[in-house]
Chains A and B, each alone.
Chain A
């Protein structure tokens, strides 16, 4: 078991998402940064889709009620285990009674805590992800609160050095496959969507300006602030399915990007769709930060997807080798 000692609102149990029910109006939910969740699971020897705690409000503290291995991935929250500082993207063995603390990160928005054996809660509709809006999944469909206790699965002990070990963060390992700006603006690659042509010459401004992620942004979607781009006359489309990453243009002219808890259906004109492989980066964007859309292509997206898969495969292959090597050393 783990016990939550301190938490802000909106921290939830998430896995890779709930699929197969979007046609019943059920949003997929799932980690905003699926890559951090996947890596966290690999670092503790789990299957890649085990549930984790997604922490996006701080400070956050929890106590381990038995020994296990925990990994901290995603945003660098200056994690401390019984006061001892841990690096980000790190996996470490913990023992009964130890307290893990996370502080608000200076960069990125969300940290993921994965535990060897995963979080032991019953899946709902095939997933342990929390649907806050639907009120189901995760911990009774709600966000974590102090004194909550969560069961963690039993896992065979994997050989982790006492000081732990980590992984090259994806931003560093994959730098050449994801564009970066000089001034810290997050570059988000996107492809024009269904109603792009309706905006005519105005559409150019969608790409050239930077947009600020407004305070009315959450796991459902980001509202962006900037110079509005409006249609000459408003268009309301028939209700159609949408996916995370869709960039909608409501009458106000300021875009909405749907995220993990996206509505399953929408009717606003669609300016663009973020390429799927860039969604994990957008999922780490902070309220108040700036983003700029960069027009992309399927070819470019596929290249980035292959790089991410190769990186994950490298981790998948190397973690057991490291464990093996450490076990051999300890025998010497």
Chain B
């Protein structure tokens, strides 16, 4: 894929939290025929903005998504943040792989600075897998879980 050059970002929070900016960058990438752009933050982390998708982490997310089975539906990140499979105040995950989930059930979390955002399901099914490493940075719209829809 074609990559844009790396840029230094002033504030990760501004970059990640402002979807208007993200949208603009994604459109600009598409127009420019660039697939993705990586932004290096103060903390040394890479934030990848993918044309048409939003931003994703430096983790292995993309590769995992590509091997997903066709029938599985993604549960996507509602915002960019660090993936927390288990709530920091709890010992166990909200849902375990292989169990049934129902619509709008919280199945994981994203840490955004001091805040925690839910990752939830759209429809009922079976939690099929998690495609993101705990703690890794995921982008807005990235697939985090895969759910096999109920018949």
Contacts and interface: CB of A to CB of B under 8 A. Distances in A.
Is any CB of A less than 8 Å from a CB of B in the complex?
yes
A173 B114 CA distance: 8
B112 A322 contact: yes
B98 interface: no
Contact of B116 (A165, A311, A326): A165
Nearest to B80: A325
Nearest to A330: B19
A109 B20 CA distance: 42
Nearest to B117: A165
A329 interface: yes
A329 B19 contact: yes
Nearest to B120: A163
Contacts of B90: 76, 87-88
A332 B19 contact: yes
Interface in B96-151: 104-106, 109, 111-118, 120
A13 interface: no
B17 interface: yes
Contacts of B115: 165-168, 315, 318-319, 322
B19 A325 contact: yes
B13 interface: yes
Contacts of B18: 325, 328
B17 A322 contact: yes
A10 to B, nearest CB: 24
Contacts of A329: 19
Contacts of A319: 115
Is the interface on chain A under 10, 10 to 19, 20 to 34, or 35 or more residues?
20 to 34
A59 interface: no
Contact of B104 (A163, A311, A315): A163
Given A87-B109, A321-B13, A164 B114 contact: no
A321 B14 CA distance: 9
A172 B87 CA distance: 10
B114 A311 contact: yes
A324 to B, nearest CB: 8
Contact of B19 (A84, A86, A315, A328): A328
Nearest to A108: B89
B6 to A, nearest CB: 24
Contact of A169 (B17, B88, B118, B120): B88
Interface of A: 76, 84-89, 161-169, 171-173, 311, 314-315, 318-319, 321-322, 324-326, 328-329, 332
A-B residue pairs, 7 tightest by C-beta? A172-B88, A166-B116, A163-B118, A314-B114, A169-B89, A325-B17, A329-B19
Given A166-B87, A328-B19, 5 more contacts: A171-B89, A321-B17, A322-B112, A325-B79, A329-B19
